[in-house]
Structure formats: structure tokens, C-alpha cells
Amino acid sequence: MFNWDDIIATPSSWLESAGGDAEVVMSSRARVARNLTEHRFTHNCDNAELAEILDGVRAAAGSTGAFAESRYAPMGEISSLDRQFLAERHLASREFLFNSASRGIVFNEAETLSLMINEEDHLRIQGLAPGFDLESAWRRASELDDGLSAQLEFAFSDRLGYLTACPTNLGTGLRLSVLIHLPGLVHSKEINKLLDSLRKLNHSIRGLYGEGSEVMGNFFQLSNSTTLGTSEDAILSSLNEMVGKVIGFEQRAREMLFRKAQRLLEDKVWRAYGLLQFARSVNTKEALSLISAVRLGVGMGIIKGVSISSLNRLLVYTQPAHLQKFSGTTMDAQARDEARAEFIRDTLAHPSGETD
């Protein structure tokens, strides 16, 4: 296990803004699905078989260089609040919060690499990188995949590629994605046209926490839909090209909004900033909406002295489990709303993390 206080006190490294497109793309992710030849898929396993898989994969992970220094969370032995905290951290999927017996997650201290054991597949390898950097995310996931495949036999078909519990992941088993902020396209009412085009071009668009999650704060997860009949390099090249185009669309939409409605845009941004600076109670959805507006203002140079990195951290640390873990106490909805407002005020008052 690990000391929860250490992980709570240190923001994930992928929250740091990086690259010239950091105001649009928050982070990049590579997720690889793998299954073991000698075991049934997880939905057909009993707890004894799941436990055997967990022990074997965890032992293999511990002997890889990638996890020489790692943390381990046994999902069946930690609280529901702790499991929600890991999901808010983007280390575990929402599906991983439930039916947690004989399931576990291994992750490195920087939180740029994680391994979910016994999710939908036996192994879900995830590499993360700040900003628009799919290459780094894929490299981290690929290196761990190679290290594990030297010790474990993965289910593979010469015709179908890697075998997965869900047919949509057959082939490479690779899903690349970016967490992207698109307020310009949303406010210019061009977002639905873009989403339709992306789906027709075999790309998926989801909410802040991936499949089944709600779109909040104008944040979307954009990923490839096709894993069968194509190579990892082709998937990487295709998504890189598509994300580049979406960034261009978003930047043009922002420029158009500024030309056509500068005062309205500035008013929206500064109102959001004022509310975040002085509000005494704010719920999760409202906070994400206000942070989105301020993030837009910072990206367009309307607001100075606030970093994209500090706003990225706010997006995670204002989530319900983070607020409660950070405060060290369980809170009802009203108490969380008040604690959220206080946390935001303190962060904006000391954007560098310094306190009086």
C-alpha cells in the first residue's frame, strides 16, 4: 500500500501544463487492453480465479523497471471514498469502483503509468502525459506492455490480434485519447457539427471521465474508435492529425468570439473569475463551468497571473472525493460545496502554492 497523505498532497504530474497547445489539450492518454491465455475473461471468472490473476499480474508488474518504485491499491480492501478518489485522479476507471473484490491497481509515483488488474480485461495498462503528447503516453504504456509480455502469455490470434473481452478492442487493444477543452466551439455552437464529423471518421468523443460520463466544463475525451485491422503507429498518426485539426478549429472559434463579441466574452470570463474568488458555496458542476471560463480567459490572455496548471489542479481537487480526502473528513453535499468554494479561493489567492 502507500501513505494516502503523500498522494493527496502531491498533484499528478500530468496536470502540469505542457507544450504550446496546453490551453486547449489538458492531457494525453494511452490505454492498452490485454488478457492472459490460461484464464477466462473476467466476467466469467469466480473470485478464486480473479485472485490468481491478481497475484500473478501484480508479481510480474513488480519485477518490471517501470514499477521499480510503485504504489498498490487493493480495490476490495480500500473504502468507497478511496476508490472514488483514484477514479477522480484518472488512475482508475469508473467501472473499477464496483465489484472490487480481487481487483487492484498499480501506479508509479508520478501517476503517469498505471495498471488496472481485473477490470473488463485482465490487464488495462495506462500511460499519461501532460498536454498534447500522445507519443509519450504511448511510449510509457508500450514499455510496460513489453515488460509484462516477457513474463506473461497474452491471448493473441494471428487473424484478430490481441483478444479482448469487448470486441471493439480487438486487434491492437490500443485506445489513445486526449482530454481537450473546447469552450470556443461550444459557445459558437459548432460543437455538435464537430462531434458528428468525428464519429463518422471513427473517433469517439466522451465526457470528462470517459465512457458513460457527463460532459462538464466543456471538457471532452477524444479517442480512436478502431483498434482492429490497423497498427499502433497508424492509430497514433491518425489521432495526432485529428487532434491537430480540432485544436485549429477551437483556436479559430475563440478568435471569432473575440472579434464578434469581445465585451461579452470578457464579461463572462471576469464574472466567472469574480465568483470563484468570492463565492462561499459552489457545487461540482458550477465549479467546472466557472473554471472552464477562467481557463478560456487565461488561454486568450484576458486574465494574467493565473497558470493553466493551477486551473488543471482545481479541476481534480474540487471533485467530491478529493475534497473529503484533503480535509480528512467525510462531508455531506452542502459541506462539500462550502469546502470547494474555500479551496478555490485559497488556490486563486496563492496560485503558486505559497501561503502566508
Q: Provide the grid cell at 29.
A: 492518454
> Mind listing the pLDDT tens digit for each residue in 121-147?
999 999 999 999 999 999 999 999 999
* Same domain flag for 120 and 208: yes
- 96-109 CB burial, b ≥16 within 10 A, e <16: bbeebebbbbbbbe
* Same domain flag for 286 and 331: yes
- Asked whether residue 99 is domain-assigned, the answer is yes
pLDDT at 209: 58
Residue positions counted in the chain:
356
Below-70 pLDDT ranges, the chain: 1, 208-215, 351-356
* Same domain flag for 194 and 322: no
Sign of CA dihedral 91, 96, 100, 102: negative
* Same domain flag for 27 and 125: yes
Range of the domain at 226: 4-254
pLDDT at 215: 65
* Same domain flag for 289 and 158: no
> Mind listing the pLDDT tens digit for each residue in 280-303?
999 999 999 999 999 999 999 999
**Last-in-domain residue among 254, 271, 298:** 254
> Mind listing the pLDDT tens digit for each residue in 39-58?
999 999 999 999 999 999 99
* Same domain flag for 71 and 201: yes
